[in-house]
Structure 1
Amino acid sequence: MPRAESSATSKPRSASFTPATHRRGSNVHDRHALTARIAGLGTCLPDKILTNKDFERMVDTSDEWIVSRTGIRERHVVSEGESVATIAVEAGKRAMADAGVEPEEIELLVLATATVEQPIPATSAIIQPALGIKNATCFDIAAACSGFLYAMHVARQFIITGEVKTAMVIGAETLSRYTDYTDRATCILFGDGAGAAVLQAAPAGEGILRSALHTDGTYADFIQMPGGGSKYPPNVKEHIDARLPFIKMRGNETFKVAVRSITEVCQEVLAGAGVAADKVDLFIPHQANLRIIAAVGERLGLPPEKTYLNLEHVGNTSSASIPLAMREAIDRGVLKRGDLVLLAAFGGGLTWAATLLKW
């Protein structure tokens, strides 16, 4: 039983970064007397674990090398018979139980994943029957590691406009199925997992206070999976031989853009909410890389003790990262009711997002 928790054709380009001038932070936050709050959180981690010692037998690497560059020691991966759908369903059921809601009350499901169950239909539709949410409109969002925050933002709009009263958001990934285990630069990073949140209406000033989303497609080849789509179809031997159906990253360049963009979007939501950084009780970033997280925290002026980390034992789980960390922080007594929490993520697209909420 899974646990509850927690480029091929591109040309080199500089990682210089100009932030988008159009801000989606949104006057919409200030026009409504309602917002959305997280009423319940549920997570799922597969039982199987890959440690850094396992990777020492697979590629030219070492535990010391991996830890020093990423902070990761182990990660969970799905076994035969498990998939992104199975772990998403488990997380969703646990979220409903935590919120004390019945499946029939869920009117909307927004599922964020980069590792779909199959191209058609949407993974959210596939898991609807198993969750029992027969009254829910279901659709997927593809925003990579920023997906959970994108999905929460979208679900919140449905709630504050009165379209729905209760929504579910899920971030779920089986990155191990798209990882090239001969590429030591990427295979050490990724783990599988799922996290789900039930959102309900709340008075303005509670729950989600502010959020912002951004995209810059000029950096699309920094983090990508080139094969498997219409450009490089999966049924072509040459594409498989070129390892195109696997995750590719331009790590050094991505690092520079990630630090800057995460810092700026966090500053954006704090300024939009009229909150100083020193008022934040807990910072929960996407768990991608310890060095990125440390650099962002330093630029925001947040002391290390205010930053929650769990990538050491889960790795980079993409869209599942933030709900996994939140659930673990709650269970460990680190995240408490009334806390001011800053969430931030960065991923392929490139996409980046931040959310400020009162827990």
Structure 2
Amino acid sequence: MQPFVINGHGRMVFPSNFLPELDFTLLDDLDQLGAVIHRDFEAKAPSGTEILRRIEAGDHYATRYDVLRDVALNLFWSNRFTMTMYEKRPTRWRDVPRRRDDVFLPVLTPWVDADRKVAAVRDVYASLPAAWEGDAEDRIFDVLFDVLRHRRFHAAELPAVKPTVAQALADPTSLTYRLTSYDPDHPVYDHRRILDCAEDVPELEALHRWAMVLHDQYPWDRAATTLAPVGDLRDDDYVVVLHPRNRDVLDFVRRVTRDGRPAARRRIADHPPARTRPPVRPYPPLRVRERFAVLPRIEALTVVRGEHLCTNDDLIRNSAYSWSPMSAQEIVDKTGIESRVYTERPLEDLALEAAQAALRHAGREPEEIGAVLFCTCTSTKLMPSTSTWLSGQLGMQQTHSSCDVVAACAGLPYGLAEATRLLQEVERPVLLVCGEKFSDKIGTGRPARMIFGDAAAAIVIAPAGPGEQTDVEVLQTYASGPVEEVNSIIWPNPDFDGNVTVLGPDVRALAGRYLQQMIDELRDQSDPDGRAPTLLESIDLVVPHQANKTMVLKLAAAAGLAADRLFFNIETVGNTSAASIPLALADAKARGALTGPMRIFAPGFGAGAVGGYAVLRVDPAVIAPERV
């Protein structure tokens, strides 16, 4: 599934948010599948009985949209296993194979109180005011209600693994679908029409897509559908036969239904965590002038950002059925983000463009570079590593070192620390590239979708000449902590279909711990130039990793940092992890916050409970203009 597409109206669409597709190679057993299904389909969805209770209570639904949303969630829940595991194929009963283990029949229980529940939905919808656009809401209601009123089965107890035809026939009283007629050309919404769905109100556009997908779950005349005992079926009756959606689903079904199946793979999460203990002594910050003979100078900094803007309205118009209601303004209030940037290009292309621009701006040739470092946590290129691939693409026949550094949102401090150490050995420029592409690794997880974006940056770090001062003044890196903080951001996460997941409370805990430690260290350090009582007081501007503006401002205030000392660009680009600090530095120049050589405190913290900071002297002249 593509992470996003641009539809016929020029709008961004996330197909995975309304066309569920699970990776069954990551699931070991029915318990794991049940947990995924519960999270994605059940946690937010009311049952028919719950909808009826809410209607009869008379105080739950304020607008028609509220009813529409609950009905849609209920119908996704009702189809939770069929739409993720099986294809529905109406077939004449005489043509249904009886002995195959890859053909299944839905065995169903009649929906309890169906007429009362359907009538209650119809009546309450008619009695309520429109939320935004009455005509659009009526069109959506017509599609959803047609599915609801022809639903025949009770959804509270449904097995994931359906019986084979032989198993269903073993009990002739088992009920399954019988279609009194079937037209293979029954109208459905094709994929392009679903993608091109457009409504003026983002919430209604998402709901309209849901309705079309749910309509397509029953590609036959629903009024001609009854439940019939399998023992009463006649040769010319049509039944709905279930076929696994793909080979992985069939393998999963066979794996969980046969005796003697292989033991489940041991998962990383199964390992019990050790008790955390502090190091035998603290790790002091590295004062570069005092620790290193070869001092680093920044010759160039370039950035390349994703070419597509994904606004908060885009998120809302792509709301997944697993998301709680949230408005565009609520996303701003929660994260400080109004939009993020995505790219259709490979991460390597962004990184290469940034690297080429950095060499040009520094006036350096590839053969002058002694090492290439690539800091990322989203690269899918393992062999060759992205850094070695970049070295080759740039025309470098040999480097002293080309390697990838996986330090997530602390990528820049980690990269600068490694670059500074390499300078001592090679005494020639080091090319440091930081890049991330999250847009194709998020799936249906809303916290990650709200926060992350795509970008790359490159920095040329060269040995300072005789008498020149260093631009990298203090370096510090950390890693680890309580296991819940170490695992607070995970990719790939088997429990979320291999996608990125963010566990907010644990992220806040690690960020708060590290930021307080960083501030305390700056207070304890002297100003290298002796112009201020402490290193903290000598800082001109704080450019943090752009994690979550709302969270970082609260943590900074708790640590004693005033908001007017911090620079953010997260509101327009999102969190680009390792690339976020360089991207923010470029925007600080563009917005007039960086007007001359300034001392910058650049902290970062994130996945793996990594953290670190750099105290830099940044001259805006080293920041190259972005390509338009």
TM-score (norm. length: structure 1): 0.85
1:343–1:68 CA distance, 2 compared to 1 (3 A): same
Amino acid at match of 1:200: A
Amino acid at match of 1:342: F
Q: Counterpart of 1:68?
A: 333
CA deviation after TM superposition for structure 1 residue 35, in Å: 2.0
Matches within 5 A, 1:1-359: 10=269, 21-26=281-286, 30-59=290-319, 60-79=325-344, 82-136=345-399, 137-159=401-423, 161-180=424-443, 182-202=444-464, 205-216=469-480, 218=483, 219-227=485-493, 239=494, 242-269=495-522, 271-274=524-527, 275-359=534-618
CA deviation after TM superposition for structure 1 residue 24, in Å: 4.9
Q: Is the 8 A contact 2:338 2:572 kept in 1?
A: yes
Helix, strand or coil at the partner of 1:328: helix
CA deviation after TM superposition for structure 1 residue 298, in Å: 2.0
Amino acid at match of 1:67: V
Q: Counterpart of 2:261?
A: none
Please give the alpha-carbon distance, in whole angstroms, between the structure 2 residues aligned to 1:41 and 1:315: 20
Please give the alpha-carbon distance, in whole angstroms, between the structure 1 residues aligned to 2:584 and 2:613: 15
CA deviation after TM superposition for structure 1 residue 330, in Å: 2.3
Helix, strand or coil at the partner of 1:325: helix
Amino acid at match of 2:394: L
Deviations 1:269-317 (CA, angstroms, capped at 9, x unpaired): 5534543423211100000101232134324533322211000011011
Please give the alpha-carbon distance, in whole angstroms, between the structure 2 residues aligned to 1:183 and 1:32: 44
Amino acid at match of 2:491: M
Amino acid at match of 1:320: A
CA deviation after TM superposition for structure 1 residue 264, in Å: 1.2
CA deviation after TM superposition for structure 1 residue 200, in Å: 1.0
Please give the alpha-carbon distance, in whole angstroms, between the structure 1 residues aligned to 2:284 and 2:408: 19
Greater fraction of residues in strand: 1
Helix, strand or coil at the partner of 2:378: coil
RMSD: 2.6
1:266–1:139 CA distance, 2 compared to 1 (3 A): farther
CA deviation after TM superposition for structure 1 residue 149, in Å: 1.4
Please give the alpha-carbon distance, in whole angstroms, between the structure 2 residues aligned to 1:304 and 1:134: 47
Moved more, 70-79 or 258-267: 258-267
CA deviation after TM superposition for structure 1 residue 204, in Å: 7.7
The structure showing larger relative contact order (alpha-carbon pairs under 8 Å, at least 6 residues apart) is 1
Amino acid at match of 1:111: F
Please give the alpha-carbon distance, in whole angstroms, between the structure 1 residues aligned to 2:393 and 2:526: 38
CA deviation after TM superposition for structure 1 residue 243, in Å: 2.5
Amino acid at match of 2:442: T
Q: Counterpart of 1:232?
A: none
The runs of 5 or more residues in structure 2 that have no matched partner are 1-35, 37-266, 320-324, 528-533, 619-628
Q: Counterpart of 1:236?
A: none
Deviations 1:311-349 (CA, angstroms, capped at 9, x unpaired): 001101110101111122123332244311101000111
Q: Is the 8 A contact 2:375 2:415 kept in 1?
A: yes
CA deviation after TM superposition for structure 1 residue 38, in Å: 1.4
The runs of 5 or more residues in structure 1 that have no matched partner are 1-6, 228-238
TM-score (norm. length: structure 2): 0.50
Deviations 1:4-43 (CA, angstroms, capped at 9, x unpaired): xxx99759x9xxx987543152377523343212110011
Please give the alpha-carbon distance, in whole angstroms, between the structure 2 residues aligned to 1:143 and 1:348: 8
Q: Counterpart of 2:66?
A: none
Equivalent residue pairs, number: 334
Deviations 1:159-180 (CA, angstroms, capped at 9, x unpaired): 1x24232001111011112112
Helix, strand or coil at the partner of 1:170: strand
Moved more, 348-357 or 203-212: 203-212
Helix, strand or coil at the partner of 2:556: helix
CA deviation after TM superposition for structure 1 residue 141, in Å: 0.4
User: Percentage identity across aligned positions?
Assistant: 27
Q: Is the 8 A contact 1:55 1:61 kept in 2?
A: no
Please give the alpha-carbon distance, in whole angstroms, between the structure 2 residues aligned to 1:18 and 1:303: 32
CA deviation after TM superposition for structure 1 residue 132, in Å: 2.9
Amino acid at match of 2:458: A
Larger Rg belongs to: 2
1:295–1:205 CA distance, 2 compared to 1 (3 A): farther
